[in-house]
Structure 1
């Protein structure tokens, strides 16, 4: 499995599209970027080797009873798309890593990104807005 994952790193878009076809039995989406193809193929390889979701997890997803993650642990990554740009924050033991800088709070990162005060947990989808 590790060798297959490593190989993905060096494949070009055309090679990734071919691998996509092999994995999913459908052509790769025309406008999808290599990064997306690479990640989806890697996911497929890992689920084939390690197993996918359990039957209970699949049923929870289908029923809509999946609870959102509200607590983070060190190493977790938070992703937010804001005005067409993707922002990635890594949770540390003490604070958050964003743009190679350690921040004390998610709210300070959200304010930096948007230019206006935001609840960081709301901005990054960890908590619903009270509005």
Structure 2
């Protein structure tokens, strides 16, 4: 699942499997399918732009 079209058309089971492969854990138990879809779409776009590290870690004080 490496394109936005694949993410948009994927069912919940496929989205959960992809989430687990990327983050080494299941998504939160009772979220609507829109959250994994948005997070995975963001991840695909982030990789396409060459930013494989994800969001920068910021310390809130």
**TM-score of the pair, normalised by structure 2:** 0.73
Structure 2 CA distance for aligned equivalents of residues 49 and 23 of structure 1: 15
> Larger RCO: Structure 1 or Structure 2 (Cα < 8 Å, ≥ 6 residues apart)?
2
Corresponding residue for 2:3?
4
Instruction: Give structure 1 regions of 4+ aligned residues with deviation exceeding 3 angstroms.
Output: none
Q: How do 1:1-131 and structure 2 match up within 5 A?
A: 4-50=3-49, 51=51, 52-53=54-55, 58=56, 62-64=58-60
Helix, strand or coil: the match of 2:10? coil
User: Contact 1:9–1:38 (CA<8 Å) still a contact in 2?
Assistant: yes
Gaps of 5+ in 2: none
* Greater fraction of residues in strand: 1
Q: Once the 2 structures are TM-superposed, how far is the Cα of residue 38 of structure 1 from its aligned partner?
A: 0.2
Structure 2 vs 1, CA of residues 63 and 35 (structure 1 numbering), >3 Å: closer, same or farther? same
Aligned residues: 57
**TM-score normalised to structure 1 length:** 0.38
Rg larger in structure: 1
